[in-house]
């Protein structure tokens, strides 16, 4: 009797754990690129169509995120962020218009 109810609780906990992991997986669809020390990190990112990528500036000077003809952020101050949702597959090269040697790539598939 006691053992049976413990088993029932165990099964319920296992199901709750599975449901929680599915929610986490769904949230992982949206990703963040960190800007710090004149670098986009990760510099190259592979995402699925429909993914929203958010760039967050953690550097202590302003940066931008620009992909010719695709998207263009304003100058992002420290802790500012810029988000773009990729609705078409392709390779999106981007750079910082204030420091053109800062480059990155989003591969959307």
Are 65 and 75 contacting, i.e. CB atoms less than 8 angstroms apart?
A: no
Q: How far apart are CB 104 and Cu ion at their closest, in Å?
A: 11
Within 10 Å of residue 29's Cβ, how many Cβ atoms?
11
Determine contact, residues 94/104, Cβ cutoff 8 Å: yes
Q: How far is the CB of 99 from Cu ion (least distance, A)?
A: 4
Q: Which residues pair with 39 in a beta bridge?
A: 36
State how far the Cα of 60 lies from the Cα of 57, in Å rounded to an integer.
Answer: 8
| Lookup: tokens for 20 | 């929680």
Which residue in the set 45, 57, 63, 104 belongs to the binding site for Cu ion (CB under 5 A)?
63
Indicate whether 31 belongs to the interface with Cu ion (CB under 5 A). no
Nearer to Cu ion, 11 or 75 (CB): 75
The one segment of 4-12, 14-22, 80-88, 95-103 that binds Cu ion by CB under 5 A: 95-103
Task: Decide if 76 contacts 82 (C-beta within 8 A).
Answer: yes
| Of the candidate residues 98, 103, 105, 107, the single one contacting Cu ion (CB under 5 A) | 98
> Rounded to the nearest whole angstrom, what is the least distance from the CB of residue 39 to Cu ion in the complex?
9
Interface with Cu ion, residue 99, by CB under 5 A: yes
Q: For binding to Cu ion (CB under 5 A), which residues are involved?
A: 63, 96, 98-99, 102
């Amino acid at each position: 009797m006691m053992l049976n109810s413990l088993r029932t609780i165990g099964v319920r906990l296992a199901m709750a754990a599975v449901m929680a992991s599915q929610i986490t997986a769904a949230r992982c669809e949206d990703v963040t690129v960190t800007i710090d020390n004149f670098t986009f990190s990760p510099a190259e990112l592979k995402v699925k169509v429909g993914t929203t990528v958010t760039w967050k500036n953690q550097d202590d000077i302003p940066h931008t995120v620009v992909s010719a003809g695709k998207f263009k952020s304003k100058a992002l101050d420290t802790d500012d962020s810029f988000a773009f949702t990729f609705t078409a597959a392709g390779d999106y090269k981007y750079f910082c218009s204030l420091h053109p040697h800062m480059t990155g790539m989003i591969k959307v598939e």
